[in-house]
Amino acid sequence: MKQKLLTELTDQELLEMKKKAKSNNIINAAIIGFMFGVTVYAAVNHGFSFFTLLPLVLAAYAAVKWNKEKKALEDELKARNL
């Protein structure tokens, strides 16, 4: 199923997405923390290389993407006064 744009969702669907976003933030933080942990572990045991820094790059990319989605949801909720 293709995901709808935020502007196409009803008010009830937006509020449901807001509830899901709270739990997703915890999961996202755990994933990013795990990636940082992998990077530190690899750097300590194997030194720095491309594969040591790859999880760090992926974590940064994911954080930027998740923040954009979160900001878009908050802006839409604010625009509808929800």
**Residue carrying structure tokens 């937006």:** 14
Domain boundaries of the chain, sorted by first residue: 11-79
CA-CA distance, 73 to 24, in Å (whole number)? 13
CA-CA distance, 54 to 27, in Å (whole number)? 20
Token pair in block for residue 28? 């996202």
Cβ–Cβ under 8 Å, residues 17 and 74: no
CA-CA distance, 11 to 9, in Å (whole number)? 7
User: pLDDT tens digits for 28-43?
Assistant: 899 999 999 989 998 8
What is the reported pTM? 0.71
**Residue carrying structure tokens 């790859």:** 54
User: pLDDT tens digits for 47-78?
Assistant: 888 888 888 888 899 889 988 888 888 888 88
